[in-house]
Amino acid sequence: PAKPSRVPPAEVIGEPVSCINIAQIRGSQVRDNQTIDFMMAGGKVYRNELPQQCGNLGFDRSFTYSTSLTQLCNVDIITVLQNVGGGLQRGASCGLGQFTPVKLIKQPKKG
């Protein structure tokens, strides 16, 4: 049986953009090997669907990036950070996709 997706449903609330301002990023949530939600200042959320699966991203749920600009863009590369023996090791490197503004849809609690 297929595992249920950890990607929460979201409503698209605007046109995708190529870049987001790094200074505005308040956090990120890795949802699976191909999806990252970026939480922004002011409560905005941008969902990034990577063009390809990124090995172990959904398992390690941690990544780093380096850019010389003040923005994170769809041409930038992220690198998965793997927790190995209590230390972090660089894993797969993957390209980002477009940043789509979304509103996360609250799921009713089960139970």
Pairwise CA distance, residues 43 & 45, whole Å: 7
39 is written with which tokens?
């939480």
pLDDT reading at 53 higher than 90 = yes
Distance of CA 41 to the CA centre of its chain: 16
Per-residue pLDDT reduced to its tens digit, 61-95:
999 998 888 999 999 999 999 988 889 999 999 99
pTM score: 0.89
pLDDT reading at 2 higher than 80 = no
Above pLDDT 70, what percent of the chain?
92
Selected residue with higher pLDDT from 108 and 88? 88
